[in-house]
Amino acid sequence: MKLVRYGARGAEKPGLVDAEGQVRDLSAHVGDISGATLGDAELARLAAIDPATLPVVQVDRYGPCVGAIGKFLCIGLNYSDHAAETGATVPTEPVIFTKATSAITGPNDHVEIPKGSTKTDWEVELGIVIGKEARYVEEADALDHIAGYCVINDVSERAFQLERQGTWDKGKGCDTFGPIGPWLVTRDEVADPTALAMWLEVNGHRYQDGSTATMVYKPAFLVSYVSQFMSLQPGDVISTGTPPGVGMGQKPPVFLKAGDVMELGIEGLGQQRQTVTAYRA
C-alpha cells in the first residue's frame, strides 16, 4: 500500500493511493497514519479494504506521511561516494544524530532558510518507518520491525552543523528542515530497498543522481544497530543517509537561497517539491 496524510497542517486526514494514482479517504477506517496504525495486523486490515469502496479526494496538500512521530533519527556519512565528496572516511560504525520533530513538514511545503544561515543544503534520503517496537533486535529479524519506506529531504545548514562547536543537530533540526513523504510505501511493495534510484534537482539542475546501492549500512543493519542504544517505537523514522551531489560537495560549493526550487524523489516512493523562502520573524 501507499499510505498518505492529506489536508491542512495539523488537521491531516489518512488516505491511500489506489492503482490509478487517486487518493482515497481512509477516515472511516482509521484515525491517522501513525504508530498505532503501522503494526502488521493493522496494515493487513487496511490492505483488505477494497479501494473502490473509499471516497476519492482531491488533494491540495500532502502532509508528512507519518503523524505523531516520536523520534526522528538520522544516519550520517552512510554512502561511500558521499563520504568521499566531503573528504570524510566511511565511519567504522554508523553515525547517529537527531532532527527535531519540529522540523517535520509536508513533502511540498516551503523550506525556510533559518535566521543567520549562510550554508543551507539539501540531501535526498531513504526513510525507514518503524512498525513494531525494536529493542536489542538481531539483524536477521530487523526487517520485521519496518512498516515501510518514504522519501526524506534532510535539509541541513552546514555552518550550524560543522562550524558552531557542537553536535550535528544544530544544523539539522531547524524548522521546515524535515520534509517527509508523500507516501509511506509498505515494505511488501519495496522488493529491495538497497536498489532504488534516487535524485534531487535545484532549479532544474540535477545535483544528486544516485542509488541506495551505495549505502554502506543497510536498513536491516541500521534498525538492529540503533535498537542496541534505544528502543524504536512504532511511528519512529530513521533517515538513512544521502548519495553524492550535495551543495557543499560542489566546486565551488552551492547553497540554497530564497526562490530556489528543490525537486527530489526515490524510485517507487514518490516525489517532493519545495520552494525555498527567506526567514521571516
pLDDT digit string, tens, across residues 29-42: 999 999 999 999 99
| Full-model pTM | 0.97
In angstroms, the CA 187 to CA 39 distance is 12
Q: How many Cβ atoms sit within 10 Å of the Cβ of residue 7?
A: 18
Query: Domain coordinates of the chain in residue numbers?
Result: 2-57, 72-277
By CB atoms closer than 10 A (0-12, 13-18, 19+), residue 57 is middle
Q: Write out pLDDT tens, residues 138-153.
A: 999 999 999 999 999 9
Reported confidence tier of residue 116, pLDDT bands at 50, 70, 90: very high
Cell readout for 222 is 541500521
Q: For the domain covering 72-277, report its CATH number.
A: 3.90.850.10
Cell readout for 115 is 535566521
pLDDT at 86: 74
